[in-house]
Structure 1
Amino acid sequence: MPEPTDSPTEGVDEALEPRRAATPGDRNLLRDFFRPSRGQFAVGVALFLTALIVVMTLRSQATQPEFSNVRQADLIQLLDNVTGETRRLEEQVRELERARTELVSGADRDQAAREEAARRLEQARIIAGTVPAVGPGIRIVIQDPSHNMSAELLLNAVEELRDAGAEVIELNDSVRLVMNSYFATDQDGAVTADGVALAEPYVIDAIGDPATLEAGARFRGGLVSEVEGERVGGRVQIEQLDEVDVASVVEIAEPQFARPR
């Protein structure tokens, strides 16, 4: 006769048995966890600092400027732009210091003051665009056979040239750009500057250091990259010139109420 098997309730009885009481070894582990030794504390601090450095490194890489991945040639162009602008500002500082010395301690301070005032007036007229200007610079010709050029792209091109040190900018030999110039698109889709419709090809004359201006236009992501990319599909020609003649001027409206004292 077969022997009886284990009762089916045996497993249930085992599950209902009270849990094993904590042994002294378990209590030691809990105590060590909440009261670490000096060695364990040092290891924990080292791991915390390592994790903190990793997180900070990842965040710094995520917030790096766009030019962190720019090619070496483009970075050299950017450095040349900064160097050229620094030289121009240093020359302005020397001129101002020289003018100050002549005005303060010169033998003929009245004559020096008149000459300085005339020089500043001429500069103000050039900046305001009320007189023609001539000087070294570049000529940019933009071919846009697909008519994809926009007012935004032309505005960006002008801002890039100004950042590169352009002192005078003219469009299509007819529009003198000044501080309050603006770009827009008319009802026919043509780009306008100060209300004047611009026809293709777009010609930009800029007076300034020719090499610096061209480098600013050719910088990666700049005018040349945008125009010759898929967005526009055009062509850009840049010519450095010893003399750029800007003949267009801005008409200044007569004030209605204000008058000099």
Structure 2
Amino acid sequence: MSDEHSETGTGWPAPGEPVRPSGPAGEPDPRPDAPDADELSPLAPEEPVEREDVVPVESPVEPERPDAAAKPAAGGAGGRRWTSAGAMIAVLLALLGFTLVVQLKTTSADPTLSATREEDLVRISSDLDSRERRLRQDIESLEESQRQLRSGEQGRQAALDEATRRADQLGILAGTLPAVGPGLTVRFEGPAKAVSSARVLDAVQELRGAGAEAMQIAGSDGAAVRIIASTYFVDGENGSLVVDGRRLSAPYTITVIGDPETMRTALYIPGGVVALVEEDGGNVTVDDREAVEVSQLHAPIKLDHARPVS
């Protein structure tokens, strides 16, 4: 191998500068405006040509979004699963908080009393105070009767007096004895719906709950019926009222013995008897009386099966 071939390290000579060919092809063009041969040579570097009518086209560049860095990478199924689980947990926590708030509001205050007016709350408080006083008086009376019954010489007479008193009370409650005392007269007027049997029964129940001791109801014709524990009320024909099988004509008047103030408060309680009757177009007139008489008697109930134990 010659030294010329070994200079490149590959066994081949290094390329030299291009050589103009000899002969006719290598002679210059005799034309005066002919371009230089070097300019037409394929080995000469091509110079860029600037054209004024060509407008460069800019490639569209997508604007960067602020949340681009927050996007999960491709194949981020784990990120989507975490988002769904977080949303479910947030919904469950919201439902739990709502349930706790509702429960606290329900248990903290009575919605009925919170919506009641101040004067109605005063009436309710007065009614409760009256019932408390009445119960305390009953307790004191029973304790006094117990002391008298346990005494030596006066025991027999005290027992007889107590039995008589209890018999009179039971006679008044059963309607077999007349009664007199302070109380009210309650008059119901209006259409059949306003003074129906349901409304009259509600009034009787309210008066009993307020401490009524004796009651009777009378119609427009003066016919009266004693009201006891077993009395029933039924709507009759032509807007009449049937009480214990006896027909009464409107308007109706209930005569009741008891504490007038307490019974009046019970009738005028919000949503009570007076409010319902007036809502249906009727009218309730309540008059306080220092002394009313319940004179109508109820026939004794005949017992077929019950016997006293002695």
TM-score range, shorter chain: 0.7 to 0.9
Q: Secondary structure at the match of 2:285?
A: strand
Instruction: Give 2:203's aligned amino acid.
Output: A
The answer to whether 1:209 aligns with 2:254 is: no
Offset at 1:68? 2.9
- Equivalent residue, structure 2, for 1:124: 170
Question: In 2, are the aligned partners of 1:156 and 1:223 still within 8 Å (CA)?
Answer: yes
Q: Distance in 2 between matches of 1:54 and 1:103?
A: 58
Q: Distance in 2 between matches of 1:103 and 1:136?
A: 30
- Equivalent residue, structure 2, for 1:96: 142
Q: How does 1:145-184 map to 2 (within 5 A)?
A: 146-148=191-193, 149-172=195-218, 174-184=224-234
Offset at 1:202? 1.0
- Equivalent residue, structure 2, for 1:141: 187
The answer to whether 1:56 aligns with 2:103 is: yes
- Equivalent residue, structure 1, for 2:274: 224
Instruction: Check 1:256–1:60 CA distance in 2 against 1; reply closer, same or farther (3 A cut).
Output: closer
Offset at 1:48? 10
Deviations 1:136-188 (A, max 9, x none): 001111221x3322111111111111111111111016111111111112344
Deviations 1:163-218 (A, max 9, x none): 11111111016111111111112344422111122211110111101111111111
Q: Secondary structure at the match of 2:164?
A: helix
Deviations 1:18-60 (A, max 9, x none): x6477xxx99xx8xx99xxxxxxxxxxx999966642423444
Offset at 1:65? 4.9
Offset at 1:253? 3.9
**Which runs of structure 1 show a deviation greater than 3 angstroms over 4 or more consecutive aligned residues?**
19-22, 46-53, 58-61, 253-261
- Equivalent residue, structure 2, for 1:8: none
Same amino acid, percent of matched pairs: 33
Question: In 2, are the aligned partners of 1:106 and 1:112 still within 8 Å (CA)?
Answer: no
User: What runs of 5+ residues in structure 1 fail to find an aligned partner?
Assistant: 6-18, 35-45
Offset at 1:94? 0.4
Instruction: Check 1:204–1:108 CA distance in 2 against 1; reply closer, same or farther (3 A cut).
Output: same
The answer to whether 1:248 aligns with 2:268 is: no
Q: Secondary structure at the match of 2:264?
A: helix
Offset at 1:257? 6.6
Q: Secondary structure at the match of 1:244?
A: strand
Q: Secondary structure at the match of 1:228?
A: helix
Instruction: Check 1:106–1:205 CA distance in 2 against 1; reply closer, same or farther (3 A cut).
Output: farther
Instruction: Give 1:240's aligned amino acid.
Output: D
User: What runs of 5+ residues in structure 2 fail to find an aligned partner?
Assistant: 1-53, 60-72, 87-92
Instruction: Give 1:186's aligned amino acid.
Output: G
The answer to whether 1:71 aligns with 2:121 is: no
Q: Distance in 1 between matches of 2:96 and 2:282?
A: 53
Number of paired residues? 226
TM-score w.r.t. the length of structure 1 is 0.75
Q: Secondary structure at the match of 1:134?
A: strand
The answer to whether 1:194 aligns with 2:239 is: no
Question: In 2, are the aligned partners of 1:143 and 1:200 still within 8 Å (CA)?
Answer: yes
Q: Secondary structure at the match of 1:84?
A: helix
Q: Distance in 2 between matches of 1:238 and 1:187?
A: 27
Q: Secondary structure at the match of 1:200?
A: coil
Q: Distance in 1 between matches of 2:282 and 2:266?
A: 18
Offset at 1:243? 0.2
Question: In 2, are the aligned partners of 1:74 and 1:220 still within 8 Å (CA)?
Answer: yes
Q: Distance in 2 between matches of 1:258 and 1:239?
A: 40
Q: Distance in 1 between matches of 2:96 and 2:235?
A: 56
Q: Distance in 2 between matches of 1:93 and 1:58?
A: 38
Q: Distance in 2 between matches of 1:162 and 1:258?
A: 26
Instruction: Give 2:101's aligned amino acid.
Output: V
Q: Which has the higher helix share?
A: 1
Question: Based on CA coordinates, which of the two structures has the bigger radius of gyration?
Answer: 2
Offset at 1:133? 0.5
Q: Aligned match of 1:80 in 108, 122, 126?
A: 126
Q: How does 1:107-118 map to 2 (within 5 A)?
A: 107-118=153-164
Question: In 2, are the aligned partners of 1:135 and 1:207 still within 8 Å (CA)?
Answer: yes
Q: Distance in 2 between matches of 1:57 and 1:223?
A: 32
Q: Distance in 2 between matches of 1:251 and 1:122?
A: 16
Instruction: Give 1:202's aligned amino acid.
Output: Y
Offset at 1:220? 1.5
TM-score w.r.t. the length of structure 2 is 0.64
Offset at 1:240? 0.5
Larger RCO, structure (CA 8 Å, separation 6 or more): 1
